[in-house]
Structure 1
Amino acid sequence: MPDLLIELFSEEIPARMQTRAAEDLKKAVTNGLVEAGLTYAHASAFSTPRRLTLALEGMLAESPTVREERKGPKVGAPEKAIEGFLRGAGLTMDQLEERETPKGNVYFASIEKPGRPAADIVAEVLEATIRNFPWPKSMRWGAGSLRWVRPLHSILCITSDEAGTEIVPLTIDGITAGDTTEGHRFMGTGRFAVSNFEDYAAKLKRNHVVLSAEERAEMIAADAQNLAFAQGLELVDDKGLLAEVAGLVEWPVTLMGDIAEDFLSLPPEVLQTSMKEHQKFFSVKNPKTGRIEKFITVANRETRDTGATILAGNQKVLFARLSDAKFFWENDVRTAKAGASEWLEKLGNVTFHNKLGSQAERIDRIAALAREIAPIVGADADLAEQSARWAKADLSSEMVYEFPELQGLMGRYYAEFAGHPAEVAAAALEHYSPLGPSDDVPTAPVSVAVALADKLDLLTGFWAIDEKPTGSKDPFALRRAALGVIRLILQNGISAPLLALPLREDADKADLLAFFHDRLKVFLRDQGVRHDIIDACIAMEGNDDIALLVNRAKALQAFLSTEDGENLLQGFKRANNILTQAEEKDGVEYSFGADLKFVEDDSEKALFDALDTLEAPIAEAIKGEDFAAAMAGLAKLRAPIDAFFEAVQVNSDNEVVRRNRLNMLSRIRGLCLSVADLTKVEG
């Protein structure tokens, strides 16, 4: 069984596209081969700045012979019908078989498709893959019609086994597949032939190309950490930048340079962002001071001067970039010290959304809402409003205009220069959080008030103009905002009905609440809470109190995971089924209370007593939102309900006794449903 090696060698592929492209190559080729009958044992995809590589092990040497039987028209059918069938099957009349069926005699065709050599199939699949490759952006060059992300120079496509290596015959727009490739652009020795994947990877490395992006990333990380450690410093971790830089080099050479003294006083986040965004530099900080004092760059080649010239050039460009950042910072600090009123005025001219007004109008809404939320979360109302009015001031600053990802962070710095309290500074940064499922959740009361107000205004605003998420599209990150509200409420123990807040009246609150419930289901399912249990609790009154709803759901799941809970659920479902059928049959509702004087069996008396004993404390526990106690009360019903069903027949021949027992089942149903809608729980 041969192995297959494919390499598509081109000009530099953008780093952000490489990993996806390698997976797309793997998916397209392997799917195409399997559809054609060529299976394989294992496939691996690789990418470097100048190549996409696919290696398959244990591929079939040829596709298997396929035998197919087709049912044709009836014997005696019109000639055109029979001719069409023959044409489709590729057979002649004498090759058809006549068989007797329940519907009369019918023609059958047995078609045999012989297997094809692997090379022929690979050539077809690879050509289709290259011509239809799903690049986000592609280009044409020269006189050909082929499109690729950058000019495609060569195609390596070989099969190999014990007998040797064969080139797959393939030519696309004048590029003929071969068994050669080339190494590093500057440090390689020119083109060379390869015989299999192991030979290919080894020769690439000798020609200063590390094929695996993961290996390149590991090399960069290890070398960078060692350089920093040697000088008593720490590398600032940045996995996203590491992956990107690994896609910029084929032979990583890690170098550490100095940051000019002029810039060491800049906030570390400004230094890190400027170096990362403009030059793809890693930041190195002094653990004693927290300052970023050096940078690490990754070159794509070794030099005789061990990188001195490269570092000198990088430091020259870095000086210019950081000079800009320092200019922005100093201008912003002056504006902040003067009160930053011009920033707030500018926001009146910035449109948030053409149907929702300016940023200044939005800030007014957030400030008013934060003031209302403040007492609920234990924050000072004046401070919450002040924080909301400052929270987005930095959107007008020069630094945030240059680096939008620093919004909030710069607001925190500038708040201190503007003389705002620490709570206002913290809220400027924290009100954007949480941004995702693993992001930290603010806990400072003022920050919580502003964060909730910000997200609730966003949601109600877009609900008011009917701009809701549809399918996978969520351009305004409303799902993230709803999850942020949920996490803020739960992690801060906020018990308050959402619909009681002074939200926009023109928003469809019922629909928005349903959206929150959908997000909550996703959030709780990730925590192991069953979907049917969530539904059972959403069906209850007070379902706009997220904390209450979650407490109920977690208590119910814990209860139903016990033997008492499981058995009680079955008892409830049995009682509910009998009662529902009887009410449908009799056309009445059995909810008028059972009478002790009609009790015949001791089990009935015991159940009667249990209901009398438990109804009040369970109701009191629910009122006090102590759902664990309510469930514990229900657990005590398990034994008397089981005994009742074992001892008596509900549908007694005595109509008075029957109605009394049905009314007792109604009490069971009502008590169970007061805790959660158990009809929605799967049993």
Structure 2
Amino acid sequence: MAELLLELLSEEIPARMQAKAADDLKRLVCEGLKKAGLEFESAEAFVTPRRLALVVDGLPEKLAAKSDEKRGPRIDAPKKAVAGFKGSLPKGAKVEKRETEKGEFFFAVVKQKGVKTASIIIEILHETLADFHWPKSMRWASGLLPWVRPLRSILVIFDGKPVDFVWGEFVKKENPRVGPLHADNTTQGHPFMAPKPFKVRSFKDYKAKLLKNHVVLDAAERAAIIEKEAQKLAKKAKLKLKDDPGLLAEVAGLVEWPVVKMGSIDKAFMDLPPEVLTTVMRHHQKYFTLLKRKGKLAPKFIVVANTETKDRGKAVVTGNERVLKARLADAKFFWDQDRKETLDSRAGALKGRVFHAKLGSVHDKVRRMKQLAGTVAEYCGADAAVARRAARLAKADLSTGMVAEFPELQGVMGRYYALNDGEKPEVAAAIAEHYSPRGPNDECPSNPTNVAVALADKIDSLVVFFAIGEKPTGSKDPFALRRAALGVIRLIVENGLRMGLKNVINKTHALLEDPVEKGIVRVPIGPKTVTKNGFSFQVKQVHKISSADVLADNLLAFFADRLKVHLREKGVRHDHVDAVFSQGGEDDLVRLLARVDGLAEFLNTEDGGHLLTAYKRAANIVRIEETNDGKRYDSEVDEKLLELKEEKSLHKKLKSTAPNIAEALKNENFLAAMGLLAGLRKPVDDFFDHVTVNCGDEALRENRLRLLYEISSSLDAVADFSKIEGGER
């Protein structure tokens, strides 16, 4: 068995694209091998800032000859069908007639000669590189084929020998072809420490020689080296390294030969808010934070270089300290300047900040948020006045110099500036948390005021963007509305808020809609007024928006989809959510989830499983007979036509159980409702065991079909059982 080794050496690949690129390379090549009929034992992809590599082991040296048969149309089929079959066959295929149990057919015998694996690999690599997708790509020189960064060399070795693969056509204005990349068995190590090319024979040889030439191929190994050396330096300084897996993975993608060093932060900047220090270090400089024993920020940082120097990194550390000092000097300037004005005085500046061309300014959004926060505060148990004040100031820090320079700090800086202005701590905390939760792993606010403002922000965004038709489509979600919806779900569910979403959606819609002319929103054009005929007025654009009812229906359906995603991660089945949501009129997520939990618990019992089967059986019979007869069987059962004790018993049980189920649902006692459903199992089973629905008496038959419909409708009072998977016989 043979080994395939592939390396694509380029200029630096952005760290955020590396992991997916390695996975895509492995997937595309492996799919090509399987499609060609080439089996292999293992495949592993690697990535560094400058190279994508793949090793596939256990490949055959040659694809064996084989003969395939393909059956075509009958010999008496139309001429076009026969011609189409013959035209689809490869050259050299032999067509013959054969007698089968179903008649005489054309058969094609296609014999394939044995092919060397190396020649198949060349075709696969052409397809792989042509189909390879980067989030952003470029062309360089006069190249026709794109790549993430200029591709410098290609290494392809199969069974220890270089493969004659050529990729890339480069065309000058004069039109002669120049500079295609010819694959060989040559690569190079670290661009500064070992730039000379060298030849390799196998993956083992390749990895060993890269290491010798100052390149650690495996990203996980680079990350482990960084963490180990950083921990060692932190321990020596009697400090603790702040755990940051995301930054560790990113930095491992920035270096091929990690050299870990410790630098110092000028003490003059240590009075800055810790979030400012960590943001500058992490997001802008890719430094690791060090902590003192009690968790307080230490005046030290960890930097990872990509090269060793003769002075053992002294110049590298000094240079990074100088860059950090300049960055922090800017931050300190903004910190000092921003505190000279109150947040409240900055709120007006939001009028000049566009939220969306059809929705006006951020100031317009804040106006709606303020009203909405007061409304939502009632459900959260928060002080409405405090919530409205927090909402008014929530976006004001967008007008500060600090947030303009470091956008990651929006909300965080609002809290510091609010406290500096003497605002209530509850207001400051709500400003800081109103963007939360930002993702599934982010902590969810629990303080009532914080929850109210966070809900106001997210619900407003969802309502107004849906109103103007800016909904997420496929993989595109430019306004992060899916994340906003999941945030609303988490805020409501994790805090147990009994809030009717439809009512809140309608109130938000009313805040957006023009109060005089329905179905439109008026957006000011610029902050200035225009004077005409002695009257001053502000010019406004008019945009159409969805009606409140249509908007509410669309948004509730969107919430249902997001809820399925949220619950799927917790192991809840999507069809159980569908079964409860599809009944309509349910916009209380806490009540809905209690109902879903009760349904799931019921269906996991023996009675639940049997009743689901009975429901599907009853519903199918009624559906088929309604189709055949051309009429519905949803009218009342005629008790005079009930003959057998089993149908009488079932009807009596359904009649007595229905009001009790309705009462249990009204009182939100869903477990009791499910218990009442369980009581239907025996009479339903007895009915199907002893009663013939499609009997000879037409009046009796129709009455029994109405009884079957009664079974379905009784269960549907709790949930739409037709949406639940399983139960078919």
TM range (shorter): 0.7 to 0.9
Cα offset, 1:262, TM superposition: 0.6
Alignment of 1:307 with 2:350, yes or no, is no
> Quick one: which of 550, 561, 576 aligns to 2:593?
550
Q: Output the CA distance in 2 between the equivalents of 1:498 and 1:99.
A: 68
Q: 1:307 to 1:567 in 2, by over 3 A?
A: same
Mapped to 2, the partners of 1:477 and 1:20 lie a distance apart of: 22
- Counterpart Cα distance in 2 of 1:87 and 1:472: 36
Do the aligned partners of 1:332 and 1:397 also contact (CA within 8 Å) in 2? Answer: yes
Do the aligned partners of residues 137 and 470 (structure 1) sit closer, same or farther apart at CA in structure 2, a change above 3 Å counting?
closer
The runs of 5 or more residues in structure 1 that have no matched partner are none
1:619-671: CA deviation from partner (whole Å, max 9, x where unpaired) = 32211111012112222333344345556667888999989877776765554
Retained in 1: the 8 A contact 2:343–2:393?
no
2:161 to 154, 157, 166: 166
Secondary structure of the 1:504 match is helix
Instruction: Please say if 1:504 is aligned against 2:547.
Output: no
Change (3 A) 1:656 1:334: same
On the 8 A contact 1:591/1:666 being kept in 2, the answer is no
- What's the offset of the Cα at 1:380? 1.0
Which amino acid in the other structure matches residue 508 of structure 2?
L
Residue 673 (structure 2) aligns with: 630
Kept in 2, the 8 Å contact 1:217–1:246? The answer is yes
Residue 348 (structure 1) aligned with residue 351 (structure 2): yes
**Per-residue displacement from partner, 1:441-491 (whole Å, max 9, x unpaired)?**
211111111111111111110121111112221111111111211121111
Q: Distance in 1 between matches of 2:663 and 2:73?
A: 75
Q: Distance between the aligned counterparts of 2:476 and 2:433, measured in 1? A: 26
Q: Which residue of 2 aligns with 1:481?
A: 484
1:224 aligns with 2:230: yes
Q: Measure the CA separation in 2 of the matches of 1:652 and 1:68.
A: 54
Label 1:139 to 1:511 Cα distance change in 2 as closer, same or farther (>3 A).
closer
Task: Kindly provide the amino acid, as one letter, of the partner of residue 555 in structure 2.
Answer: L
SS at structure 1 position matched to 2:340? helix
Distance 2:301 2:606 in 1: 61
Residue 447 of structure 1: aligned partner: 450
Structure 1 CA distance for aligned equivalents of residues 477 and 603 of structure 2: 36
Q: Which among 203, 214, 220 is matched to residue 208 of structure 1?
A: 214
Asked if the contact 2:637–2:707 (Cα under 8 Å) also holds between the matched residues in 1, the reply is no
Note the 1:175-186 alignment, pairs <5 A: 175-186=181-192
In the TM superposition, residue 257 of structure 1 has moved relative to its aligned partner by 1.0
TM-score, normalised by the number of residues in structure 1: 0.87
Whether the 8 Å CA contact 1:594–1:663 is kept in 2: the answer is: no
CA distance in 2, matches of 1:133, 1:576: 49
| Contact 1:268 1:292 (C-alpha < 8 Å) held by counterparts | no
Q: Aligned letter for 2:483?
A: R
| Secondary structure of the corresponding residue to residue 600 of structure 2 | helix
Matched, 1:522 2:560: no
The number of residues matched between the two structures is 668
| Cα pair distance change 1:98/1:175, threshold 3 Å | closer
1:198-245 C-alpha deviation (Å, 9 max, x unpaired): 111112112221111111011111211222133232222222222221
Distance in 2, Cα, partners of 1:333 & 1:122: 64
Give CA deviations for 1:591-633 in whole Å, capped at 9, x if unaligned. Answer: 26858xx987766776577557645543322111110121122
Deviation at 1:381, TM superposition (A): 1.0
Q: 1:433 aligns with which of 427, 433, 436?
A: 436
C-alpha displacement of 1:196 = 1.1
Bigger drift between 215-224 and 165-174 goes to: 165-174
Q: 1:146 to 1:522 in 2, by over 3 A?
A: closer
Counterparts of residues 374-393 of structure 1 (less than 5 Å): 374-393=377-396
Q: Deviations over 1:171-202 (max 9, x none)?
A: 55354433232222333373332221111111
Cα distance between partner residues in 2 of 1:136 and 1:292: 38
Structure 2 unmatched ranges of 5 or more: 168-178, 511-546
Tell me, yes or no, if the aligned pair for 2:289 and 2:297 is still in contact at 8 Å: no
Contact 2:47 2:218 in 1 (8 A): yes
Which of 456, 459, 462 is matched with 1:456 structurally? 459
Match for residue 114 of structure 1? Answer: 113
Aligned residue for 2:247, secondary structure, equals helix
The 8 Å contact of residues 42 and 58 in structure 1, kept in 2 or not, is answered as yes
Whole-Å separation in 1 of the counterparts to 2:36 and 2:692: 65
Worse-matched range after superposition: 150-159 or 275-284: 150-159
Letter of the aligned partner of 1:27 in structure 2? R
2:636 maps to what in 1?
591
Render the CA deviation track for 1:337-376: whole Å, top value 9, x for unaligned. Answer: xx22342011011110111111011111111111111111
Give, as a single letter, the amino acid of the residue that structure 1 aligns with 2:157. I
Task: Select the residue among 275, 278, 302 that pairs with 1:272.
Answer: 278
Q: Secondary structure at the match of 2:59?
A: coil
Give the aligned partner of residue 56 of structure 1: 56
The corresponding residue for 1:67 is 67
> Which stretch has the larger CA shift, 132-141 or 299-308?
132-141
1:4 — aligned with what?
A: 4
Per-residue CA distance 1:17-67 (angstroms, 9 max, x = gap): 333333333334334444444432222111222222221211221233243
Alignment of 1:247-262 (within 5 A): 247-262=253-268
2:29 alignment partner in structure 1:
29
Does the aligned pair in 1 maintain the 2:229–2:260 contact within 8 Å? yes
Give 1:142 deviation, angstroms: 5.5
Q: Quick one: structure 1 residues 350 and 642, their matched pair in 2 at CA, closer, same or farther if it must change by over 3 Å?
A: same
* Matched-pair contact (CA < 8 Å) for 1:271–1:292: no
Is this contact kept in 1: 2:637–2:703, CA < 8 A? no
- Pick from 415, 421, 425 the counterpart of residue 422 of structure 1: 425
Q: Is the 8 A contact 2:633 2:709 kept in 1?
A: no
Separation of aligned partners in 1, 2:332 and 2:246 = 25
- Please name the residue that 1:569 is paired with: 612
* Residue 134 of structure 1: how far off its partner (Å): 3.4
Cα separation, 1, equivalents of 2:694 and 2:43: 66
Q: Counterparts of 1:349 and 1:192 in 2: how far apart (Å)? A: 59
CA distance in 2, matches of 1:6, 1:609: 75
In the aligned structure 2, how far is the partner of 1:509 from the partner of 1:203?
63
Instruction: State the SS of the aligned residue for 1:503.
Output: helix
Please tell me whether the aligned partners of residues 650 and 661 of structure 1 are also in contact (alpha carbons under 8 angstroms). Answer: yes
Q: Aligned to 2:461, what secondary structure does the other structure show? A: helix
Give the 5 Å matches for 1:634-673: 634-643=677-686, 645-646=688-689, 669-673=712-716
> Which position in structure 1 is the counterpart of 2:269?
263
Whole-Å Cα distance in 2 between the matches of residues 190 and 580 of structure 1?
77
- Residues 96 and 615 of structure 1: CA distance in aligned 2, closer, same or farther (over 3 Å): closer
Q: Which moved more, 1:297-306 or 1:658-667?
A: 658-667
Residue 195 of structure 1 is matched in structure 2 by: 201
- DSSP-derived class of the 2:382 partner: coil
SS at match of 2:67: strand
Shift of 1:256: 0.9
Change (3 A) 1:96 1:544: closer
CA distance in 2, matches of 1:652, 1:104: 42
Contact 2:579 / 2:723 at 8 angstroms: preserved in 1?
yes
Q: Is the 8 A contact 1:183 1:190 kept in 2?
A: yes
| Amino acid of the structure 1 residue aligned with 2:301 | F
Contact 1:72 1:85 in 2 (8 A): no
Partner of 1:43: 43
Asked whether the equivalents of residues 556 and 587 of structure 2 are also in contact (C-alpha less than 8 Å), the reply is: yes
Structure-2 change in CA distance of 1:348 and 1:115 (3 Å): same
How far is 1:317 from its partner? Answer: 1.3
1:276-296 Cα distance to aligned partner (Å, 9 max, x none): 233211111223252242110
Query: Percent identity among equivalent residues?
Result: 49
